[in-house]
Amino acid sequence: MRAKEFLSEGSGYHHRAEIEKRQSPERTAQIERNNSQIQALLSKLKLVPLLQHPVTKKPIYVYDNDGRYTVLVDIGSIRFPFYRSTGLGGKATVEPDKWYPFFGIGPGSAGWMNKGSEKEINNYYGSSQLKSIADILNSTYTNPTRNFDTVAGWNGLLNSPEDEAQFVNTINQGISPATRDDDKGYLKNKANMLAKLNVKPVEPIKKDEPKAPTQPTSAYGDKSLPDGKFMLGGIAGQVMNNSPVGPITKYMFDLIRREVDEKQSSIAIGRELTKYLDSAKLPTNIKVNDLVRKFGSYSSDYKRLKDKNAS
């Protein structure tokens, strides 16, 4: 729930606003640039308000969804959501800090953002219209910046359970996003949304979701990966490339991402990891239980570094 002092005659809001005004000139310039870019964007695209500011009553068009800035574009035949990639989702060929369309947010606490394979994402699902919108977003809204007035989702006032529910409901209005394990639901919703743009999927490519190999050749990686191993870059690589069994596999990183980014059950993730490691050929000095415990520290370090990077 929102703190009452923030909503009582706007006193808390105005107090926060005054604090924000006294921030560094660099921070002030960032906020001003963010706000001017949103106004420029509104002159080029028809954005759908995601929330209403509880004090100023002005519409808010940008939501910081766990680090992924999100907007909703009214194309006419359909409203299509777009997100700004963080580069933390394990999709190596998808360029970070760029805007891409997606197909809504799945039900449940995990709230999976319905997205396709790396190839589909980079090809904008075969839609020149979606690519044109992404080009406008990439050229116009280049510096999304968290602030108290125009970007919701990141602070206590604009990230209550009610606000988050309203954001998800607005994004999902008129569409039927699926849970991560519902391939049929995902493909049906994607096809329906693309049909509104007169685009027919070339093939029903499933989501990028690495599966545990039945007979992995070693704990260093999977043969299905081009170079036999998965060297992580960025903040994730700072933690996990120091794995006691060498560079962590793409599959294992996907487990960490699912636990941290999508808030899936740690118990279920642990069982899946144990099953995977039991079938792997670990060095004799590495025990499965020891590695499972180490995996927990990877998740914690990944979340800490991710939060630090986003602040």
pLDDT in tens, 138-182: 999 998 988 878 998 865 455 677 888 899 999 999 999 999 889
pTM equals: 0.61
What pLDDT does 170 receive? 97
Output the CA–CA distances (angstroms, integers) from residue 117 to 2, 58, 165, 203, 227, in the order listed.
38, 37, 27, 11, 20
Please check the confidence at residue 134 and state whether its pLDDT lies above 70. Answer: yes
What pLDDT does 279 receive? 65
DSSP-assigned letter for residue 212: P
Domain segments of the chain: what residues?
A: 4-195, 234-310
What pLDDT does 97 receive? 92
Distance between CA 117 and CA 121 in Å, rounded? Answer: 6
Distance between CA 189 and CA 81 in Å, rounded? Answer: 13
**Structural tokens at position 307:** 């939060």
Tell me the per-residue pLDDT of 86-132, one tens digit each, with 9 for 90 and over.
877 777 889 999 999 999 999 986 688 999 999 999 999 999 999 99
Sheet order of strands, 99-101 included: 99-101, 79-84, 68-74, 62-65, 151-152
Tell me the per-residue pLDDT of 273-284, one tens digit each, with 9 for 90 and over.
777 666 655 555
Output the CA–CA distances (angstroms, integers) from residue 45 to 71, 174, 192, 214, in the order listed.
11, 20, 22, 48
Tell me the per-residue pLDDT of 11-30, one tens digit each, with 9 for 90 and over.
445 555 565 556 678 878 88
Read off φ and ψ for residue 246, nearest 5 degrees.
90, -170
What pLDDT does 236 receive? 42
Read off φ and ψ for residue 222, nearest 5 degrees.
-110, 145
Following DSSP, what letter does each residue of 240-280 receive, concatenated? HTT-BTBSPPHHHHHHHHHHHTS---HHHHHHHHHHHHHTS
Q: What mean pLDDT is reported for the chain?
A: 74
3-class DSSP state for residue 178? Answer: coil
What pLDDT does 311 receive? 56
Place of tokens 């919701």: 152
Q: Predicted confidence band at 8 (pLDDT cuts at 50, 70, 90)?
A: very low
